[in-house]
A and B are shown apart, each in its own frame.
Chain A
Amino acid sequence: MKFLLRASPLVLALCFVLVAQAARAPKSAVFNSPHDFKTTGEYSPGGASYTLCNFCHVAHKFGSAPTGPGYLLWNHKLSNVSNYGVYTSDSMRSTPSDLGGQMTVSNLCLSCHDGTVAVNSWYESVAGKNFQPLPQDTLFMAEDHTARDLTKQHPINFVYPDATTAAAVGILPAADTNSIDGSGNVPLFSGRMQCATCHDPHAGPSSGGHLFFRTFPSTAAQTTTGSFCVYCHL
């Protein structure tokens, strides 16, 4: 367990670097949010005094870990769902890829939010304040927070349309392959839209309440419609 103690400052340092590069919610905003399993809450027995990040991240992974490769140093068990389905529509020109068995940032979210893996399922056990591992694989996500059938969710894991296509279908063209706004506030991942394009899992109650909304650049359309959808859906 000692490596965890040594690793935590590194993770925090990494977080600060990222915060410095983009005007996003600081990672520390996760405190007291529904993603804060350190504080007593729906999925947390509470009392873990120094392992907040470890509910999702771990500084070091060894061997062929059951949580998959080291993407974002993910510490949560990944889902075994092989087929989530993809959203389609008459007007959509993009073609999403099924997230089943993939390793995208959205698969990390789905490791809790598809409802098939207990929230407290960690690669490296998370210890409470008494250094005893917390009980694993018992606490499942409440259904109203899950998204199992991705045919009924806003499409993700698709290549954001190029400028010409975007214009044809009435979508805001992306500034570059890293974000729609060009400043990282509405990020893309290898040019693809993912959960994290609209949601920041670290953004706590101060930013979009419990829905972890990112703070999109303000536009008149969003103000008038009362909806952030129209940031992209012109």
Chain B
Amino acid sequence: MRRAVFIAALLLAIGILQLLFAQNGNKSSIINSKHDFRAASAAQIRSANGQSACIFCHTPHNAGSSNYLWNHRISTQDFPVYNSSTLQSTITPIQPQDVSKLCLSCHDGTIALGDTVNDGSVAFAQGTGYTLPAGSASNLAGDQTFANDHPFAFAPKIGGEVVTPPPSDPVHLDRSGKLQCTSCHDAHKEDADPTTRKFLVKSNQASAVCLTCHQKTGWAGSAHNQPPDASENLRYAHTQGAHTGYIGVRNNGCESCHRPHAPQVGQRLIKQTEENVCFQCHDGSVVTRNIKAEFLSKTYKHPVLLTPSTHDAAESPSSAAHTLPETSVGQARHAECADCHNGHQANSTTALPPLISGALLGVKGQSSSNSFLTQSPNEYEICFKCHGDSANKPQSLDKSIAGIGYGRNPQRQYDAGNLNAYNTRAEFTQGISYHPVTRPRNLSAGEAPSLRSSVMSNSGSPLPNRPLAGGSQIYCMDCHNNDTGRNLGGSSTGTSGAHGSNIAHLLERANMMETATGTPGRGSGISYALSNYALCDKCHDVQNSVIANRSFRYHRLHIVDQRTACSTCHDPHASSSSMLINFDTSIVAPNSNKVLSFIRTSPGHGSCSLTCHGENHNNRSY
């Protein structure tokens, strides 16, 4: 009787323990998985007559490798290993003692699935000597390389955004601190993640497996981890490129953009090339606002669609291979989504100038004092990365060149403290007068009577939270932005941001320039309509102040009567003269005394020496 009680208690204890093990990769759970090669297995690929599930991999005696009593013949083939410009660890070729070598005895496609050490060559239903075909997703070296697989059999360098998995986590490094196939996969248990399967050690919903080691700055609050629109999130499914079986960007997590094995781009394991990985969703199919259309349909745009591009995540002044800002005149200019956006951090938070909004979080930039920033706090710093001190400016002045130009470039009298005529960083930081992008405004309200109290929408109502009080600043994107986006305010709902615009210089509203004359001094003229001055009118009341002559008493004469554009006399960035006066020498010429100058004597008063629209100005004062 006591013996019976003892046995019952023992069986109960075993039962409880077996339940505990079930979570932990029960060896018997291999049955009917893809790794069950018994003839009676439910797996499609299986042996013709095999009875035991264990022998295809293990043998109790005289194993081929002491690792896990390996009974499968081991591959002797070497393949190129993973590398990337941002890789911190050293990846060395796989060594015989690496347990990953065991997995590769089938998964590099060189050894037959039934080729055992102690049980001979076991025939498979697919044929004797059946190896994983090159096109099989299970064949890591079907393309003759491991360069497009998450690196394995290496000791990851811990630090920064890479951490060691917690001791109790199913994700683990081997005892020598190396990452192996077994770090993420349990060959005995196919469905710890019942959706993705793939023998993962635990559920990879929302990339829990990846995040065990990869802790990306800002990921917790990013829109890709916490999609702001639940219905948009759920549109990301298999047809849009989701390959994990999960629905939604949140649940796909890292694998919305990355793929640990056989991605299209090996470096950083990106699922698709360049912008295409973003266009899985940002082409209107998942996220309603269609950014791809901006690049496709707009006349002026950042050259994102031009591929291949030279963008690299390692870009910095200290990178020899990917120097940024560029130091070589001939270096190709480029812009990719990732130059302005960081998919790990971007979110939908708003900000006031000059601070970046959430969409631009975690992006490299160049400060107003020309130092490199790994995380730009201010929006203009991101623009200066390419539009500041890069030695390869300008390129493609005309939009007819590959469609990426930006329209006629005014030839300015001064290049505001600027060795390089196109260095906007130098302009904004060194100009005597300037739009308040990098520096707060230095004019009193009285000196700039046209200045509105608030930035205006294109329908004439104040944009929320954008007062133009003393000391306020503006964004580059207040002028350079989508001409059909929600940035316009009012009823516009399109995507905001400087992706593309049908207005030259990628402006969000019309800012008519005179056509360059063959002979400067003659003037070409544009007929006055407020809509031609919409951009300036956003902050400066053109109708009621500028052409009412409240700052310069001949504004109306020049603009309405002589059909002069703002840009003919003013430089919208900055000037070495006051009041942003920086004549466009394509239109304005020196006077008969060969003098070209503007002298401001007091607010509202000054004198001009120039020839324009056929009129000689000899120190003409007002």
Contacts and interface: CB of A to CB of B under 8 A. Distances in A.
B157 interface: no
A170 B26 contact: yes
B51 interface: yes
Contacts of B24: 168, 170
A167 B18 CA distance: 8
A226 B51 contact: yes
Contacts of B69: 87, 152-154
B61 A153 contact: yes
B99 A87 contact: no
B175 interface: yes
Given A152-B63, A167-B20, A170-B21, A225 B28 contact: yes
Interface stretch (B6-14, B269-277, B288-296, B538-546): B6-14
Contacts of A170: 21, 24-27
A147 B61 contact: yes
Given A153-B69, A163-B17, A225-B30, 18 more contacts: A89-B68, A149-B66, A152-B64, A153-B62, A154-B60, A154-B61, A167-B17, A170-B21, A170-B27, A173-B14, A198-B60, A224-B31, A225-B53, A226-B38, A226-B52, A230-B54, A233-B27, A234-B17
Interface residues of A, number: 29
26 contacts: A149-B62, A149-B66, A152-B66, A153-B60, A163-B17, A167-B17, A168-B24, A170-B21, A170-B25, A173-B13, A173-B14, A173-B17, A182-B7, A224-B28, A224-B31, A224-B53, A225-B28, A226-B50, A226-B52, A229-B54, A229-B58, A230-B27, A230-B54, A234-B21, A234-B26, A234-B27
Contacts of A198: 60
A175 interface: yes
A152 B69 CA distance: 6
A22 interface: no
Interface string A209-234: 00000000000010011110110011
B14 A151 contact: no
Contacts of B63: 152-153
The 5 closest A-B pairs by CB, nearest first: A221-B28, A226-B52, A151-B66, A226-B51, A154-B60
Interface in A154-188: 154, 163, 166-168, 170, 172-173, 175, 182
B285 interface: no
Interface in A122-160: 147, 149, 151-154
B516 interface: no
A229 B71 CA distance: 14
A147 B67 CA distance: 16
Nearest to B55: A227
Given A167-B20, A167-B21, A175-B10, A152 B26 contact: no
A227 B53 contact: yes
B65 interface: yes
Nearest to A151: B66
A142 B28 CA distance: 34
A154 B53 CA distance: 17
Interface in A42-93: 87-90
Contact of B10 (A89, A149, A168, A182): A182
A234 B52 contact: no
B336 interface: no
Interface in B36-87: 38, 50-55, 58, 60-69
Contacts of B31: 224-225
B28 A182 contact: no
B67 A89 contact: yes
A149 B64 CA distance: 11
B606 to A, nearest CB: 81
B457 interface: no
A234 B28 contact: yes
B174 interface: yes
B299 interface: no
B55 A172 contact: no
Interface in B335-371: none
Interface centre among A151, A182, A224 (most CB of B within 10 A): A224
Contacts of A167: 17, 20-21
B496 interface: no
A154 B99 CA distance: 17
A227 B58 CA distance: 11
Contacts of A163: 17
Nearest to B16: A167
B482 interface: no
Nearest to B24: A170
Interface in B204-228: none
A166 B17 CA distance: 9
A75 to B, nearest CB: 25
A220 B294 CA distance: 62
A153 B25 CA distance: 23
Contacts of B577: none
B429 interface: no
B40 to A, nearest CB: 8
A227 B21 CA distance: 19
A225 B182 CA distance: 22
Nearest to B39: A226
A217 B267 CA distance: 53
A152 B62 contact: yes
A109 B148 CA distance: 49
Contacts of B14: 172-173
Given A89-B67, A152-B63, A182 B53 contact: no
A230 B28 contact: yes
A61 to B, nearest CB: 30
B49 to A, nearest CB: 11
